[in-house]
Each structure stands twice: as structure tokens, then as C-alpha cells.
Amino acid sequence: MITSESPATTPLFKMSGVSKRYGGVHALENAELTVKPGRIHAILGENGAGKSTLIKIMAGVVAPDEGQMLLNGRPVSFRSPAEACAAGVTCVFQELSLIPDLSVADNICIAAPPRHFGLINRKAQRAIAEEMLARAGAEDVHPRALVKDLSLSRRQLVEIAKALAWKPRILILDEGTSALTATDVAKVFSVLRRLRSEGLALLYISHRMQEIAELADECTVLRNGRNVMSFAAGTRSGSEIVEMMIGREYSNAFPPKPARATADTAPPPLECRKLCWGDSLRDISLAVGRGEVVGLGGLDGQGQREMLLALFGVLRGTTGSVLVDGKPVTLTSPAVARSKHIGMALIPEDRKTEGLMLEMTVRENLSFAVLDRVSKGGVIDRKKEGQLIDEMVQLLAIKTAGFDIPVSELSGGNQQKVVIAKWLMRRPRIVLLNDPTRGIDVGTKQEIYQLLRRLAEAGAAILFYSTDYDELIGCCDRVLVFYKGSIVRELRDGGITQHALVASALNVEGEKAESAA
Amino acid sequence: MKEWRYRLHERRGTLMAAAVFFVMFAIYVSNHPAGLTSNVVQTAANKGVLLAFVAMAQTLVVITAGIDLSVGMIFILTNALASWVVLGTAVETAFGVIAVLTTGLFCGALNGLIVIYGRLQPIVATIATGAIFFGIALLLRPFPGGSVNEELADLMTGKIFGTVPASLIALAAIVLVIWVPFSRSIIGRTAYASGSSETAAYMSGLPIRRAKFTAYTLAGLLASIGGLFLTFFTFTGEAALASGNAYTLFSIASVVLGGVSLFGGKGSAIGAVFGALAFRTIGDLLFVFDFDPLWQPLFQGVVLLVAVSLGAFGLFRVRNRLEWFG
Amino acid sequence: MSNVTREEPVSSSPKIARRLDPAIATAFGCIILLLIIGSFYSTSFLSPQYLLQQLKVASFLGVIATGMMIVILLGQIDLSVPWSIAVGGMMACAAAAYGPAGEVLAIPFGIVCGMAIGLANGIGVAYLRIPSMIITLATNAVAQGLMVLYTGGFSPQDSATFAMRYLATGFLLPAIPNAVLIWAVIGSGTVFALTRTTFGRSVYGIGNRESAAYLSGINTRRIVLIAFIASGALSAFGGALLAGYASKAAQSMGDAYLLPSIAAVVLGGTSILGGRGSYLGTVAGVILITLLQSILSVMQMPEAGRQIIYGTVIIAMLLLYGRSPANR
Amino acid sequence: EPEIVSGPAAEAECFVPWTAETKFFKFPKKDAPYRIALANGYIANTWRIQMIQTAKAYASQPEVASKLKEFKVVSTGEDVPAQISAINNFIDSGYDAIVVNAQNPTAFGPVIKRAKQAGVILVAFDNILDTEDAINVNVDQKGLGVLWANWLAKHLPDGGKVLEVRGVPGTSVDTDRHNGIHETFAATGKKWDVVEVLGKWDDPTAQKATADAIAVHKKFDGITAQGGDTGVVQAMIDAGHPFVPFGGETENGFRKFCAKHAAEGLKCSSAGTGPAQVAVAIKTAIAALEGQVVPQSIKLPLAIVEDPNFKEGQDFYPDQSDNFFVGNAFPTCGINFTAQEIMGQSKENQ
Ligand SMILES: Nc1ncnc2c1ncn2[C@@H]1O[C@H](COP(=O)(O)OP(=O)(O)OP(=O)(O)O)[C@@H](O)[C@H]1O
Ligand SMILES: Nc1ncnc2c1ncn2[C@@H]1O[C@H](COP(=O)(O)OP(=O)(O)OP(=O)(O)O)[C@@H](O)[C@H]1O
Ligand SMILES: [Mg+2]
Ligand SMILES: [Mg+2]
């Protein structure tokens, strides 16, 4: 069926009717994808649209439930990443697959190191590593350095170099630039362009529309696991593409923001001045008022997480001051941060490692953060615990078959609700949220937005980090945009738009100013 | 950073262990009534090498983020076996040696099978196999006794050219023949990788099970080489429960002193060898300093406590407390 | 998409029949099997006298394994148990040398000494983050050194006090040895602590996910510290009871309890990685190990055979129910 | 090195040859003062600590101290190679004599060779060496078994059911005592039903094993135990087992029980040798260095106390620890420490 096409546009790889389900979630449904050599193919979609799932299937990490894949016209199915790589399909994953305790050179050649007499030839390996690092534009990374000692952006480049060592025909980058600075991004782009000219097929996933406009030859948009459309780059406007990705009006999803009382003379519940922590936080000053929802924006990894962790007492060696209700406080641990006179709560980013004890019961998880309140002299008052839990479960409409089943048996969204509920039980006055809606379905998201608003109305001060711009737009009274550990811009009310967020996140003006200086 | 700095960094644990050992040994020798004679070195070497083999064995398993609490018992079992079979003519002796090493390999492989395919936690699985190995050792040697080809034994525990202890040469040879190829092979690298991050290793398509199995099996082999040397050193076999347990525990201490992380993925058997030699020198220090005999066990305990606490200093560099939890 | 249908949220905990943990069921099954096998050798194995005797002997291991279990639930291990036992027994007896006050304070003093060892372990693990396997090994060596020094230097008194003897061998209730009562009391205390107190919840939480527990505002370091102190205290109390049982304390009295206490906990279904396990399982594990040792001893099985059977039984049982889930 | 001579030994009443065939050594005379070392293995039990205290006390007695330039003690723990290395180190450092409590009797072949070459005198005691090239200071372990069995045979003229609580399996001491018991029983021609359990010379272990055995076998007519005897009696009391004749070791606690319950049927033979054998070993080493004739293998007298002769304050000490071994004097060698003297003495030294 592909014979009639000219060689230049002959698909190298074709995927059709591919579906993948995780429990009740359709991560992919009937997905189609055609990849041609010498082209950069962008895949677009919201968080959770199924992009990563799609390329994991291509790369042999995940087995599809149905559908078929053709490589050079021949049906293939990969049982492991190694098989896919050997066939020429190599992926740079969103979660890095580097081994922290091994050197860069070891990592680059991990799967098929050069050998003589059966042993790894380190000289040859070194040569390969240097070559690949150069191709990936990371000449400054020493091949003997240990991966765990590298910064995140260097690791990304090493990951690309590692992929190149496979001599792939199809190279996939899943948000391969999300942690990179603009200069590094430019470097990677030139590398990618060169690879394109060498005839590789490139699949590129990114949330940065700008990059896609600059780089892509073709685009495919996914939404809720389905193909929306494939088209040649430049044939659709940016806003059309966003429309396709989102496919709905966002205003509906969010509760209305109340008009803010203007003159609140009381000291703000949370304020910090000149907060610094290494390179990740530089002179951060901000204040969150009663009933206010303040968003943290910007690209991922610009210091937003560190900001929340610093406030919650997790980081050592922070400088600057934090004031709660106008009084300076010293935050040395989460135990202090949650204490009565401070009343902070942090909804963590990764519920599996930071939020829940997966093997413990729903009850135990829910009451974990309020153990001090439901107990007397260290003995848990089961009745009081039960009441509180009942209330909270009602409030958040958590769907569970009972309180005494392991929380791991709940669906992801309900697990996330448990994490939130466990903190709401403390009735916190300051709520820090670290990207709480990741991997959660739309309905649950809406409930969470409403809850946020209700909390704010009840007087809480809320600091809300999200990687999803729509959420920031829909939920926040103000958004502070982070860039390289500093707040570069404050957006308020009507000023919080997709464009403003993206522009300030990339620090377009700032970069320009920097390069001009 | 300069190239040499990376080399230094890569080997920091090993170099630290070596430095600790050399300092301790220098203190020991300079206070020894006989001074630095080849006899003194030979005595220290013969004693140190035994633990060094067991510590190397432990290292292989620890690198994969496992632990082998049966190494001491494999050591004892192969000692008991060697005292029966490493005897007679050169050919018979050679077969005896092969039988001993094969037994060690087999014990290690059994651990590997149980841990990898039985999916049991290494701590408990190897406690249990350790009991079995010890039981077999007792069957072989209900009473201490037996003998060994004394020519071979003298050769292996003697001196070459009248100066260099043969046991050290043997240790170096084993490092060259087993450890170096292992650490430079794909299997060895996989062992490191799976100890460092099993998910990343899987994502990179590495043969994880094969690597772990090899690590456990080679650990058995190395422990049996230790058992063989114990036989050369003592001329007998003995199923001593206490020494079996002691060598297991000492091997863990040596591995930690040698800069190998108990969480896996980091360290080298050469470091563990120096760790073992340093650990043994702690005992030797008793000899040169005039401790009241009743204070000796306390002294050894305190030195061990201090040595293992040294590693904690890295902790104060951690700036994100979440990193405590690995 | 806004009209998401929702089930009625569950209001109160439904009475889900508590699933009997297969590990515990298997362990109790093995106990019965052992007794049946034993009864072919001699029907005395089924006599109440023998069973009570076993229960009494198991109590000592039970008390010690209780401390080990708390530490294992955290995902740690305590290798200083042998000399914590010896320290407990010896120091309790030593205190008795100091007049009537010493007699009274003997057991508490022994326990306090055990707690000191636990404190050192706890500081090492919780605050210095030294792997528990290695710090407890070192404190064990230090404790041994101290006891050798003490025995040689202080003409020690090592006879158990009346109270120790009474607790270990006396009868408060007819037919039920006090040791068993003590184990029952400590056991129910532990069950209560593990299931009904904030401490217990925190222990399981830390064993499951230390980072999540920390971020929930639990003072994880303090909990770990307390757990190690508890382990030291229980080992030392076990030592005091053993001294009472034998009427005297001796240096080597703890050697035989390290591996059995770990084995008992793990055979009872507690995960060596922490976070999972119930005390009932540990009870089963303790009885199983004690019974196995006793039956092999009475059958005059040679030591070699005992070790082999012992190891094989542990592996066989763990293969039955102790396997970690297959990954991928 | 040593000249093989014919007896008798210098202090014939102390240096008693093991058998009529025992060789006698005469080492070349060296001039005092001497450097003597004690290479101990395991240290963490009362017996060993008592032994080391005795050695120190003996070496500091004026007439002994005057002959010594240095007396050094090293305990290497349970690891045989460590002990071998310690002895090698003593040899290399030029000590004149080394006294050893060997961790394994068969493992010291290479050391013995080396000592011989260097002209160093090796004297082993307690756990002796399997060799004719070093001096062994021996306790007649088998004789002890014979003694106990004879005691039981005397009290049970028709044979009967006997509980034998053994020691640490695999050690020669355990095997010798066991063989002594069984050969003696066999020689009586009566019917003996011996139930063996392992007590490991340890009170709690022995107590547990005894309790189990009583629970299963209900009643024994006699008991013999190699160690942990206090625990064995305790187990009998706990189980309400009637008191029966008992052949056992010399622990103070055991003797206390024997004295207290003799009237109820606990007829004891308590025999053994205490930790003071180290003093005999040192004495032998000095004698050998002085060029006196000493047997290659010395037989220590057993300290025996049998029923009705248990005397308070001499054979047992009611106020003292249960743990120490009372049979600790060798009057024929002029060594007269009581155990509690040893332990008490260094308290004042501290
Ligand atoms: N291992 C898994 N188990 C359960 N659900 C999963 C799993 N992996 C993905 N999902 C679900 O499948 C859906 C698609 O996920 P996928 O990772 O492909 O999204 P994505 O488009 O890559 O999003 P992002 O832009 O955030 O990376 C999501 O709803 C996600 O929650
Ligand atoms: N772990 C490593 N990562 C990257 N390059 C390495 C590594 N080990 C060695 N090399 C490089 O490989 C080349 C030769 O390897 P070789 O095994 O001889 O190492 P080397 O430089 O002699 O260091 P070593 O001291 O480890 O042997 C050298 O250029 C060296 O820098
Ligand atoms: Mg993704
Ligand atoms: Mg080199």
C-alpha cells in the first residue's frame, strides 16, 4: 500500500489501530502514526493525552492491547527496549533511563559496548562516547563523570548521546528538552536538524509550541488517547492547534474566581523574603494573602518544586526569611511546618513515593497526617478517626470499597484525592500544592479545582504549582512565573493568558536582554 | 575537571580503604618488635587474605544490591571438604581443588537460584542456605581434623623468592582472573547497573537476572577459594559455626570499610580487599600495643564503630532531606 | 462531561471479613504438622505438659523477637540482639548485688542498659543514617567488649534475683507459667502499640515509605530511634528473663537468639523490607521455631541434620508464601 | 630442638606424665628473665576470663615475676587463623615461650613447625594440640567421663535410664567425655538407656534441652552433664523431676544445689579442672626454659568432690556467683588460687 509513494516520503514506520488500556483509563485508542525518514515529526497533546504511551509502545517498553506496527513495511512487535533499539527504534524517555552510579561513557555504551577478548574495551568506548557526546552537542560533559553528579540538563544530553550510540533509524525524544536552557535547546535543535539531514526519522514530543513551530515538519495531535489530526507543519495556526489539543472550552472547567477584596490590612498568612537555596532558588520574595490562590508558573524544573519544599522545611541551608501571619518562623521539618501555629500542608508531586503508603489501608493513609489530632497520649481514638474520615470522604466523594482495603486498590484519581484529603483533615491555613492533578481524569480535576476555591473562600492561602497552563489560568488569582530560580514575572487576573504564560516561561524578553547585555 | 580528578573520584572508596590500611599497617609494623620483616608481612598476609576472599565474594553480591549471609558458611563447608579431598598425588590434589571450587560454585548458584527465581529476600534466603551449608560441613567434619597436601599448602602460604608472601600473589592473581574480567564484562556492568537502578537497567535492556546469578555464583566460588586457603593455612578442616558467622559479619564490615555501598551499584572488590586487610589489622594492633587483655575486645569494638561511622560524614552534605530516603 | 456519575460514598467501614493472612495460616498449619510428626515418635509431644513447656521456652524468644519485629517493620535489622540479651541479663544480676534497692531495681536496670545499646543503634541509623546492618554489628562488638571488661574487672554477681526467677519460672496462675503470661502481656501491648497508637501507625508508615511518612509531618527519626530503643529494651528484658530461667546470667546467653529471632519474624509473614506484617505471625513463627528445635533435639537428631532440616524448612515455607511479587 | 630424655620430671608430683610411654623433654637452658606470651582464643565467657585473671595473678607472684621480663596476653576470638597469626607473631618477635589455649587442636601444625625451628617452647593447655612436638598440659577428659559413669553405676547397680547432656558437638573434649561415659557403661554389662541432648556447656541451652527431655521422657534414673549443670538441675526442679544421682562439672551453682538437695536424692559427683591450669602451663614453660626435664604430656589431677563431702567455703561458696568453676587449685604444683580470690583480687587492682 505504500509502493506508489516516492522514496523520500516512503513511511519508515507505520502504526495503526493501536490501543492501550490501564485499568479503566484508555491511554490510547485506535492510534495511528506514520513516520517518514528525514523528517521531524512532532506529537502534540495535553498532559495525559497518551503521547508517552504511544512512544513506549513503539520502543518496546509497553505491549499494546491491540493494533499493529510496520517497520519498513514489515510487521514488528518489540518485547523489550533492547529489541526495539536493535531494530533501529530508539527512545529518549521522559523518565530518564541512565544509571546513576556509572560513568557517562559507560552509560552511553551500556547496551552494546565495544569489546575485545570479550571484555569491554574502554578505550574504544571512550572514543564512541566522545563522538556521541559531540554529536549530541555535549562536548563539555566529561565521559568519565558519573551520571549522578551531572545536572538534569546535562543528563538529558547524555541521554540523547546514549540513544545516538544505537545508530538509530528512528529517534524519539519524549520531552527531551523539558529540562534544558534556551542555549542547550538551540544546541539540541541543531543536532536534530543535522540528524534529519542524515536521513533519520525523528519523533519529537514537547509542550513548547514555539519549539514545534521552529522544528517540526509534520505534526500529529492526540487527545484523550485518540488521533485528532495529522498535518504538515505550517498549515495550521497556533490557536487552531491548541483548539485541537484541548477540544473544549476551559472556562467551564473552573469555578468562578471571586472579586478580590482590595484592602486587606492584616499581614498575609504566608510571606517570604529573599529566599535562596543554592542555584535553584534565588532571592524569592512573595506573599500570599488570605483566600488567595497564587500559581507558580514557568517551565518545569525552574525552582518551583524547591520553592514548595523549602517552605515545607525539607531543604537544608535555605537563607532568607519566611513569615507566617507576619511573624518570622523557622521551618526545619514538615513536622514543624504542619504544627498548629503554622498550619501548612503540602500536597506532594508524586503520590506513589511521597504521598501514600500504598500497602496500607485507606483509613491508615487518610489519618496519617492527623494522628496527633485523633489520638490522646499516643493512643488513637478510633471513633474520632472514623468520624473525621467519614466527613472527608463525603466531602471529596472518594470512591472506595471500604476503609480497610489497601489504598493501592483505588484508582489513581481517588488515590490523589486521598492524598489531598489527608491534608485537608488538618484544616490547614496554608496549602502548598505540587502539581496535584498529574495523571488525573478530567472529572476529578474539576472537583479538585472546586475544592481549591472552596478552601480559599474559607480563608486559606494557597500556593499552587502546576505544569498545566490551563489550570493556572483557570484557578489562580495571580501567577508567579519562575525562570532559573527567580520570579521573572507576576501575572494577575485578566493578564493570566496562555500567551503571557508561555512567553514569560521562556523568558523571551529576559533572554533577549541577557544576550544583548 | 581534569582527567586525573575523575580517576581519583572513581576510586575514592578504594583509595580511602587503601590509605586506611596502609596507615594502620604502618603503625602496626613500626611498633612491631620484629619490625618490617618478610615474616611479619607473611603472617599478616596469610591471615588477611582469607577474609579478603570472603569480602570479595560479599562485594559481588552487594554490588547488585543484595547480600549473602551464607558466605561464611560456604567458606566453612569448603574448608571441611578440602580437608578430605585436597590430598595425595599432584593429580589427585588438582582434582580435589577442582571439587572444592565446584562445590563453592554450586553453593553460590543455589543462592542465586533461590534469590532470583524463588524471589526470596536475600537476607533470609541466605540465612537459611547458610544453615544448610553448615549442616553439610558438620556431616563432613563432625570433629576437627583431616589434612591437606602439605607441599601445596606450604607453597601457598609461604614466600616466593624468600620475600613476597605467596598468598598475596594468589590474591592478586584471583583479582586478575575473576574480578577484573567480571568488572569489565557486560555481566559485571549489568550487576552494577541493576544495583544502582534496576528500572534504568531494565529500560536499557540489560540481562539483569543473568548478572545477578553470575554474581551469586562467583561469590560462592570466591568463598570457596577462601575455604581452600583456610585449609592451606590450618592443615585441617573444622565445621566451626562461630567462625562461619564471624566471617560473614566481618565480610560485611570489610565491604563497608572498602567503600562498597550496601545499597548497591557502587564500589570495587579491590576496595573490599583493602577493607578486609584493614579490618584484620585492627586485630593486629592489639599485638603491638600493650592493652590489658580484658580491654582488647572493647578496643576492637570501638575501632569498628568509629570506622563504620566515618561513612556518615557524607550525610552532612545532603541538602535536600528527601535524599536521605534514597 | 461534567455530569460524572458517582457512587454513594461509603459511610462507615463495612465488615469485610478479615482475610486470614496466608502466611500466618501456613505457619500455624506447619506447627500442627510438626506436632503430628512428633507424635509418631512419642505421644508425649501432644501432652499439655510438653506443650506448656514449649510455650514457656518460646516466651523468651517471643519477647526478643518482638523487638526484632518492630525494627524489621521499619525495614531495618538489629544484629546487636545477642549482646543486648547478655547485657540485660548480666546487668540485672549485677544490680542485685547492691542491697535490697538493687534487688528491686535489677530488672529495670538491665532494661535501661539494653536501651542504651538501642539508643546508640537508633542514633546511628536515624540521625547518622548508617545502614542498620553495620551499626548494630558494631554496637554488638562494643557491648561484648564492655561485658568482658566488666566480668573480669568487677567480681560480678551473676545470680538472678528472686523476682527474675519468679517471672521466668514461677506460676501466678495455676498451670500457666509466668513467662507465658509475660509474653502474653508484652504481646498484647505490642499488638496494641502497633495497631492502635500513633507510634505503630508511624512504624508501618515508615516501613512502607519513609519519604511519604516524613512529608506527612511524622518525626521519622524519633520513631526509628524509639523502635531501636524498644528493641534493645526487649532484648535486655529477654536476657533478664533468661537469667531468671537459668538462675544466672552468662556472657554467651544471647548467641543462640539472633538468627532464630529474625527467622521467627520472617516466617511469621513480616516482610524483611518493612511495612508489612502482623504480630500474630510473629507468635506463630516463634512457636514454630521453638517447636522445630525442640523436636529435633528430643529425637536426638545429630546437629548436622538439625541445621539442614532447619534451613530447608525455612526456605520451603518462604517459597510457599514469602515470595516477592514478580516484576514485569 | 629439645633433647628427649628419660624421666622422671623435675617436679615429679606436679609434672605427671600422661602415660608410661610419655616422652620427656629437656630444652637447652636459657637464662632468666624470660619473655612469655599467652595466646588465648575466645574470651567472652567466665571460664576464659577467670583463666586470664589467674594467668595475670600467677605471673605477678613475686617468685614467678622475678623470672619474667615480659608476660603478654592476646585474645584473638574464635577465628583460628587469627590465633595462628598471633603465635607466629610471638615467634617472630622473639618470645621464649608461648602458652596456648588452642581454638582448634588440629590446626596448629604449621605453627608448631615454625616454633620448633625458632627454638620457641609451645605449651598448650585446656584445648591442647594434636602433636608430640609441643608440651601439652592435659586434663583427662575421658577419665572424667569414666568417673561420672562409674558414679552413676555405683548408685544405679541395675542400670537404668540416663540423661546425658553433652557439650559443644565436634570438640574433642565433648567426644572424649562422651566416649568415657559410654565405654564405662558398656563395661558394666547392665542395661543402660542413654538419652543424649546437646547442652553446649551453657546453662540456658542445657536447661532447655533438659526440660524438653523431661517433658518427653518423663523420668530418668540418673543424669550426667558436661557443663551447664546448674541449668540442668534447675530444669529438674522446674519440672518437678525427682532428684537422682548426677555426675557433673565443678560450677559453683551446681555444687550449691548438690549440697542443698543431697538429702532429697541429688547425689553428686562434681569433677573437673578449673581455669588455673593456665598457671600450671606457665609453670611448665618456665621449667622447660630453665632446662628442667618436663614430660611432653602432663596429666593434671582432677579436682573431685563427691557426695556427702561438699563443704561450704571450700568446695562451694554460697554467696558467690553460680558461674565460676570451683575446682581451681593444684596443690601438687603449689597453685592455690580460689576462683573467687582471682576475681576479687583484680577488683582492688582497678
Ligand atoms: N503505568 C500506568 N498505569 C496506569 N495508568 C497509566 C500508566 N501510564 C500511563 N497511564 C495513563 O495513561 C494516560 C496517558 O498517559 P501518557 O503518559 O501517555 O500521557 P502523556 O500524553 O505522555 O502526558 P504528559 O504530557 O503528561 O507526559 C494517562 O491518563 C495516564 O494516567
Ligand atoms: N570509566 C571510564 N569512563 C570513561 N572513560 C574511561 C573509563 N575508564 C577508562 N576510560 C578511558 O579509556 C581509556 C583506556 O582505558 P583503560 O582501561 O586503559 O583506563 P585508564 O585510563 O588506564 O584508567 P584505569 O586506571 O581505570 O585503568 C582511557 O582513555 C581512559 O581515560
Ligand atoms: Mg508523557
Ligand atoms: Mg588502565
Q: What is the pLDDT of residues D204-228, one digit of tens each?
A: 788 888 988 898 888 999 999 998 8
B238 with D80: Cβ contact below 8 A: yes
With the CA atoms of B89, B94, B95 and B100 taken in that order, what torsion angle do they form, in degrees rounded to the nearest 10?
120
Mean of all residue pLDDT scores within chain A? 83
Contact A103 CB / ligand 2 (< 6 Å):
yes
Percent of chain A at pLDDT exceeding 90: 26
Q: Using an 8 Å CB-CB cutoff, list chain A residues near C209.
A: 353-354, 356-358
Helix (H) or strand (E) holding D209: helix D203-217
Q: If DSSP codes are grouped into helix, strand and coil, which group holds residue A281?
A: strand
pLDDT at B274: 96
As a whole number, mean pLDDT of residues D175-188 equals: 92
Give me the domain span that covers residue B40: 10-321
Query: Which of the listed residues A424, A448, A463 is the one where a domain comes to its end?
Result: A424
Kindly report, residue by residue over B26-83, the tens digit of the pLDDT: 999 999 988 889 999 999 999 999 999 999 999 999 999 999 999 999 999 999 999 9
**pLDDT, tens digit, 9 for 90 and up, residues B306-320:** 888 876 666 667 777
Give the highest mean pLDDT range of A40-54, A246-260, B230-244, D327-341.
B230-244
C48 pLDDT more than 60: yes
Residues above pLDDT 70, as percent of chain D: 96
For residue D350, what pLDDT is reported? 33
B301 interfacial to chain C (CB closer than 8 Å): yes
pLDDT tens for each residue of C92-143: 988 888 888 888 899 999 999 999 999 999 999 999 888 898 899 999 999 9
Nearest atom (ligand 1) to Cα of A94: 27
| Contacts with C293 (C-beta within 8 Å, 6 or more apart), sequence order | C260, C306, C310
Classify residue B112: in a domain, yes or no: yes
Task: Give the model's pLDDT for residue A4.
Answer: 41
Task: Please answer whether residues A479 and A502 qualify as being in contact, where contact means their C-beta atoms are separated by less than 8 angstroms.
Answer: no
Q: From chain D, pick out residues whose CB is under 8 angstroms from the CB of B246.
A: 77-79
Give domain status of residue B312, yes or no. yes
| Tens-digit pLDDT profile for residues D82-98 | 999 999 999 999 999 99
CA of B271 to the centre of ligand 2 (A): 18
pLDDT band at A475 (very low <50, low <70, confident <90, very high): confident
Cβ(B93)–Cβ(B149) under 8 Å? yes
pLDDT on residue A181: 64
Q: Which secondary-structure segment (H or E) carries A123?
A: helix A122-135
A226 with A313, same domain?
no
- Low-confidence winner among A232-236, C71-75, C263-267, D337-341 (lowest mean pLDDT): D337-341
Nearest to A204 by CA among A83, A92, A97: A92
Question: What is the CATH number for A435?
Answer: 3.40.50.300
Q: Chain D closest CA to B277's CA: distance in Å?
A: 12
DSSP B157-208: HSEETTTEEHHHHHHHHHIIIIIHHHHTSHHHHHHHHHHH-HHHHHHTT--H
pLDDT of residue D203: 80
Q: How confident is the model at residue B170 (pLDDT cuts 50, 70, 90)?
A: very high
pLDDT in tens, A366-404: 999 999 888 888 899 999 999 999 988 888 888 888 888
pLDDT, position C311: 92
Tens digit of each residue's pLDDT (9 = 90 or more) over A56-107: 898 888 889 889 999 988 899 888 888 888 888 988 876 668 998 999 999 9
How high is the pLDDT of residue B229?
Answer: 95
The residues facing B272 across adjacent strands are none
Q: Which of A219-233, B302-316, C64-78 has the lowest mean pLDDT?
A: B302-316
Query: Is residue B144 domain-resident?
Result: yes
Burial of B90 (0-12, 13-18, 19+ CB in 10 A): exposed
Whether the CB of A109 sits within 6 Å of ligand 2 = no
Per-residue pLDDT for A514 more than 60?
no
Mean pLDDT of B221-247: 93
- The pLDDT value recorded for residue A442 is 62
The residue contributing the CA closest to ligand 2 atom 25 is B7
The radius of gyration computed from the CA coordinates of chain A, to the nearest angstrom, equals 25
- φ, ψ (nearest 5 deg) of residue A226: -115, 150
Q: Residue B96's domain is classified under what CATH number?
A: 1.10.3470
List, in sequence order, every residue forming a beta bridge with D252; answer none if it has no partner.
none
Name which residue leads in pLDDT, A405 or D169: A405
Is residue D344 scored above 80 in pLDDT?
Answer: no
Which atom belonging to ligand 1 lies closest to the Cα atom of A225? 14
Ranges B20-34, C30-44, C276-290: which has the least confidence: C30-44
- CA distances to A353, A379, C6, D185 from D221, rounded to whole Å, are 65, 55, 79, 14
Q: What is the total count of domains within chain B?
A: 1
Helices (H), D159-202: 172-188
Average pLDDT, chain B: 91
pLDDT tens digits, residue range A125-144? 999 999 999 988 888 899 99
Q: Select from A168, A178, A227 the least CA-distant residue to A203.
A: A168
CA distance B270 to chain A (A): 17
Residues with CB under 5 A from ligand 3 (ion): A 52, 94
A297: pLDDT confidence band, cut at 50, 70 and 90?
confident
**Which is nearest to A428 in space by CA: A328, A494, A341, A330?**
A341
Amino acid at B242: A
pLDDT of residue D295: 92
For residue C221, the distance in angstroms to the closest alpha carbon of chain A comes to 11
Q: What is the rounded CA–CA span in Å between residue D122 and residue D129?
A: 10
Residues A165 and A110 in one domain: yes
**Which among C44, C45, C246 has the least Cβ separation from residue D231?**
C246
Average pLDDT, chain C: 86
Total domain count for chain A?
3
b/e code C49-63 from CB counts within 10 Å (16+ = b): ebeebbbbbbbbbbb
The closest alpha carbon to C288, from C316, C257, C309, C267, belongs to C267
Instruction: Give residue limits of the domains in chain C.
Output: 47-254
How far, in Å, CA of D297 to CA of D292, rounded?
15
Question: Given this model, what pLDDT does residue B62 score?
Answer: 95
Residues of chain B positioned with their CB less than 8 A from the CB of A81: 202-205
Rank A342-356, B197-211, C110-124 by mean pLDDT and report only the highest: C110-124
Of the pLDDT bands very low, low, confident and very high (cuts 50, 70, 90), residue D347 is: very low
DSSP string, C115-154: HHHHHHHHIIIIIS---HHHHHHHHHHHHHHHHHHHHHHS
CA A47–ligand 3 middle distance (angstroms): 7
Domain that holds residue A261: 255-342+427-516
19-48 of B, contacting D, C-beta below 8 A: 32-34, 37, 39-40, 43-44, 46-47
Q: Is residue A3 domain-resident?
A: no
| pLDDT score of B195 | 93
Mutant choice from B147, B287, B288 vs D, greatest count of D C-beta within 10 A:
B287
Domain-embedded: residue B1: no
> Do A414 and A323 belong together in one domain?
no
Say whether D303 sits in a helix, a strand or coil.
strand
Length of chain B (residues) = 326
Q: Is A105 in the pocket of ligand 2 (CB under 6 A)?
A: yes
pLDDT at residue C194 above 60? Answer: yes
Mean pLDDT, rounded, for A424-449: 81
* Residue C62 in this model has a pLDDT that exceeds 70: yes
pLDDT score recorded for residue A3: 41
Ligand 2 centre to CA of A91 (Å) is 28
Residue C53 has pLDDT above 90, yes or no: no
Facing residue for C148 by CB, picked from D44, D322, D343: D44
Residue C155 has pLDDT above 90, yes or no: no
Question: B30 is written with which cell numbers?
Answer: 613500626
Which residues of D, range 175-204, sit inside 8 Å of B by Cβ?
175
CB A428 within 8 A of CB A276: no
> Tell me: the pLDDT tens digits for A143-164?
999 988 887 778 888 888 998 8
Q: Give the closest residue to C326 by CA, choosing from B119, A14, A358.
A: B119
Contact A393, C223 (CB under 8 A): no
Strand partners, A89: A170
On whether the CB atoms of residues C306 and B134 are closer than 8 A, the answer is: no
Interface check D118 vs B, CB under 8 A: no
| Adjacent-strand bridge partners of D154 | none
Q: Does A118 contact B at CB distance below 8 Å?
A: yes
Looking at chain D, the whole-number percentage of residues with pLDDT higher than 90 is 37
- Residue of minimum CA distance from atom 1 in ligand 1: A22
Spatial CA neighbour of B175 closest among B259, B112, B94, B268 = B268
Tell me how far apart the 2 most distant CA atoms of chain A are, in Å: 80
Phi, psi of B2 (to 5 degrees): -80, 155
Residues of chain D contacting C54 with CB distance shorter than 8 Å: 212, 215
Contact by Cβ (8 Å): B78, B175: no
Q: Are B219 and B60 spatial neighbours (Cβ–Cβ below 8 Å)?
A: yes
- Identify the residue with better confidence: B217 or D16: B217
The percentage of residues in chain C with a pLDDT greater than 90, rounded to a whole number, is: 48
**What is residue A302's predicted lDDT score, i.e. its pLDDT?**
83
Co-location of A278 and A168 in the same domain:
no
- Quick check: D80 and B242 CB within 8 A? no
